[in-house]
Amino acid sequence: MEASTKIAHTILLDTGPVIKNTPSISTLLSSCEQLITIPAVEDEIRDAATRSRYETTIKPFLTFRSPRPESVTVVRDFARKSGDLAVLSRPDVAILALAYELECERNGGDWRLRRTPGQKGLNGKPPQREEAKVEEVVKIEAAAEVDDAEAVQEEKFEDKKEDVQESEPGTTEPEIVAEQTAKTEVSHPDSDAPHTKEVTKEAPPITIPEAEDDAASDSDSEGWITPSNLKTHIEADAAGSSTSSTAAQPKILQVATITTDFAMQNVLLLMNLNLLSATNSLTRIRNIKTFVLRCHACFQVVKETSKQFCPRCGGATLTRVACSTDSQTGEFKLHLKKNMQWNTRGDRFSIPKPVAGSANMRGSGGGKGGWGKELILAEDQKEYARQVEEKGREEARRAKRDEWDIDALPGLISGDRGGQGFAPGSRIKVGAGRNVNARRRK
C-alpha cells in the first residue's frame, strides 16, 4: 500500500515551493523516496521567518547536490534555443541541469528527452533490459529448433520414400499404402519392354497402437516447439503477456521537478522532463498556458515581460499574447486574436521638432503646452535612462522603509509623497500616450 502512494522516486525542489511552503513537507515525504535540491536555494531565502521554518522542518529531509558542468552546458544550449536563457538565473539553470542529470541516471540515458525545442519525437528507444535480452535469445533458439525439426522430418520423409520405391509391394509403409492411386511397372506377356499404367489399389487395413501415438505426441508437445503446436505456443505467450500487463502496477515517475517559475516550466516541458504542480495534490503538468510579449512590427517573441522595447527592431511595439507549451509534442504555440488591430491613436499629428537651447529653459521647446519635450521613443534615449535610474532609487527607498516602525513619521508629516510618481508595479511612460491627438468633442 505504501508503494502505491508514491508519485515519483526523486523530487527536485526549487526555491518557490520552499518559500511558499506548498506542498507541505509531509506531502512530499509521502509521495517520493528522495528530496533533492541545490545548495544555492538557501541563499535565495532572505526572510527570517521563512529561513527559520526551512531550517527546522525542510532542511533535515533534503539532499543537496550540484550538477556537473556537462549537464549545465546541455541545459544552457537548450534554453538559448528556446529563448528562455535571458530570463533564467544561475540557480534556475542549475536546477534544470540537475533535473536533466538525474533523469539520465535513473533512465539509463536521455532517450526519452528532446535535444532541440520543437523536436518531433524523442531522442531514441528505451535500452533493452537483461530480461528482454534473455527472452529474445530464447525465442531465437526456439525458432532454430523448429527449423531443425522441420529439416529432420523432411530428411526422414525422403528416406522413407526411397525405401518404399526399392522395397517389394508387401513391405510398403502405411503412409505410402494409404494412397489409392499409384504408378507401377507391369510386364506385358507379348512384349519384353515393360510399360507403365495406373492401377487402383485398395489400402489394406493397418492397425497402429494408439498408446504409442499418444505417448509420442505428448512427448513432442511438452518441451519442444513443432510445426503442429507452434500456434498453440504463440497464443499461450500472448495470453501470458496480456495478463502480466493488466496486473502491472501504475507507472512511477523516476524524477520530477516542482517549480513556480514560468521559464523553468517551459524548458522542462520542452525537454520532456517531468513537472509537478506546486500544490498538495502534486498533479503532473503536461501543458502550461501563460503570456509573453510579441513585437507587432518584426514578430519577435520576448519572454521577459518587463521589457518595453523590442530587442530586435527597437520599437515600442510589444503586445501581450497568450501562449501554451505542450510536453507530449514539445510545441510552443502562440494564441493570437482573430481580428487584432494595432492601436494608431496618437498618430494623427507629427512629433514637434526639437528646439535648440539650454536644458534649463524648461518653458521652451515642444508643441503646445510643451508637449513632446520629454517624449520617449527608444530605449537608448537619455530621458529613458534617467527615468529608469529614478525608478530604481524609488523602489530601493520603498523596500528599505518599514511601515511598522513606530519611529517612522507618516508621509503627511514628513512630506514624503511616494517618490516622483512611480507607483509600485508602474511602468515608464513610453510614446505620446493615448489621448494626445485624439479627436475632441465640439
Measured on CA atoms in the order 207, 212, 216, 218, is the torsion positive or negative? positive
Strand order from edge to edge, sheet including 331-335:
301-302, 287-295, 318-326, 331-335
Answer yes or no: do 51 and 157 share one domain.
Answer: no
Number of domains making up the chain? 3
Cβ pair 184, 268 in contact under 8 A:
no
Do 118 and 136 lie in one domain? The reply is: no
Same domain, 115 and 137: no
pLDDT (tens digit, 0 to 9) for every residue of the chain, 442 residues total?
444 578 999 999 999 999 999 999 999 999 999 999 999 999 999 889 999 999 999 999 999 999 999 999 999 999 999 989 989 999 999 999 999 999 999 998 999 999 998 888 888 887 765 444 555 655 666 666 666 666 656 665 565 555 545 554 544 444 444 444 444 444 444 444 444 444 444 445 544 444 444 444 444 445 677 877 877 777 676 555 444 333 334 478 999 999 999 999 999 999 999 999 999 889 999 988 889 999 999 999 998 888 999 999 999 899 999 999 988 888 889 999 888 888 776 666 677 776 666 555 555 556 666 667 778 888 998 889 998 898 888 888 777 766 565 556 555 565 555 545 566 667 888 877 655 555 555 4
Task: Judge contact between 287 and 269, C-beta under 8 A.
Answer: yes
Residues in the chain: 442
Q: Are residues 79 and 162 in the same domain?
A: no
In a domain, 18, yes or no: yes
Q: 139 and 116 in one domain?
A: no
Instruction: Please spell the DSSP secondary structure of 27-49, one letter per residue.
Output: HHHHH-SEEEE-TTHHHH---HH
- Residues 376 and 434 reside in one and the same domain: yes
Q: Which of 286, 306, 334 is the last residue before a domain boundary? A: 286
**What end-to-end distance do the CA atoms of the chain give, in Å?**
78
Q: Which of 79, 77, 127, 84 is nearest to 107 (CA)?
A: 127
- Are residues 316 and 379 in contact, defined by beta-carbon separation less than 8 angstroms? no
Q: What is the dihedral of CA 69, 74, 78, 80, to 10 degrees?
A: 40
Residues 162 and 232 in one domain: yes
Q: For the CA atoms of 265, 271, 272, 273, what is the dihedral angle to 10 degrees?
A: -60
> Containing H/E element for 138?
helix 130-166
349 domain-assigned: no
Assess whether 28 and 66 both reside in one domain.
yes
Nearest to 327 by CA among 114, 83, 13: 114
In a domain, 291, yes or no: no
Same domain for 121 and 41: yes
Which residues, other chains included, contact 351 with Cβ-Cβ below 8 Å and sequence gap of 6+? Answer: 372, 375, 377, 432
**Residue 113 domain boundaries:** 3-126+251-286
Residues 14 and 122 in one domain: yes
Instruction: Look at residue 64 and tell me if it is in a domain.
Output: yes
Q: State how far the alpha carbon of 16 is from the alpha carbons of 44, 124, 168, 395, in Å.
A: 10, 33, 97, 22
